[in-house]
Structures are given as structure tokens and as C-alpha cells.
Copies of this chain bind each other. A is one copy, B any other.
């Protein structure tokens, strides 16, 4: 799924005041082929115009709609350590419609503390909170040992989207979507590429 990346580049173009762009120009910026850009965009609808290219503002908004960032999504963060707080503090998510409604933790020492005005709560009230605040997305930023059981509670409470930062895979019903962010795997991929590159240099 490359739409989020297009969305980012279009946002930058918009800030630069660029009004229109051709697949060729965008291709040079993003370092993907113009062909791929046209294919990708055309799969979701004919957003361009022959002889003109793509209107930046229009395309940006259309992609935003497809990605669902034109509407509000209420989000909770389960695990209020540094990673949970990092997410809570990243104000730009809010601009995209992702509103952090609540934070949770198992550590009583954190209860009542708040991050950017968002109170950290006990896990006891999780289900009630989800219902009362119309929460759609849950970010899991707690240790991997707790993640599967918390995911089960979330699913039982009706959550349909899980942003999983725990270093484990989750088993969920097929109508629940999980997006994994496995940082340790990401770091190993970097390490792998770094080592391969080093071996190449030695030749």
C-alpha cells in the first residue's frame, strides 16, 4: 500500500504551493516509476487529466478520503511507557483525524497522571471506556507477554483495528485489522542490509 506515501508527498507539494504535477515529475521526487504512479492512482479512480497531470489539492483530498483521514477516529493507547507517550505526544496524528481519547496501563503509579491532557487509566475500566467514547482503534504499546490477552479483551469489546507495537503476532477474527510495527525486526533488517553492504565493500 503506497497511498500513504503519495499522501505525504502531495502534502509537501501543497505546502510548497505547487498546484499541479505530472506522474513524471512526481516520479523524479519519489523515486518510483511514472508508470507505477499512474497505475496506483488509476486503481482508485481517474484523478488525472490528459495533457495536464494531477491537481495536487484535489488528489491530496481524494487520497485522504480513501485512507480515511477525512474523518475522526478515536484511539486509545494501552501501555503508557515511553512508546505510548511518544504516540500520544505526536500532535500530527490529530491533524489526520486520529484523536487519542485515553491511555491505559497496569502500573498504579501512573494512574491519574496525564500526557498532553490525556489521563492514564487503570485497565479495569477499559471496556466501559471503549463503549462510552466510541473508540475504534487501539494502539498496543505494552510488553509482548500481555499483548495477546489484551487483544482478546479489545476484540470482545468490539474494537476492529489494532495498531500492534508488541513484539509478537496477534490472532484475531478476520473482521479485525491488525497493523504490526515490529521495531526489533526493523532493526534486524537494517543490520542485515548494513552487514551485506559491508561484505560487498570488502570485495
Contacts and interface: CB of A to CB of B under 8 A. Distances in A.
Interface of A: 1, 3-5, 7-8, 66-69, 73, 81-83, 85-87, 89-90, 92-93, 96, 98, 136-137, 160-161, 163, 167, 175, 177, 179, 181-195, 197-198, 201
A184 to B, nearest CB: 7
A86 B83 contact: yes
Copies in the complex: 2
A198 B160 contact: yes
B4 A189 contact: yes
A189 B179 contact: yes
A3 B93 contact: no
A160 B66 CA distance: 37
Given A4-B184, A66-B192, A181-B181, 6 more contacts: A8-B184, A83-B86, A96-B188, A160-B194, A163-B190, A177-B190
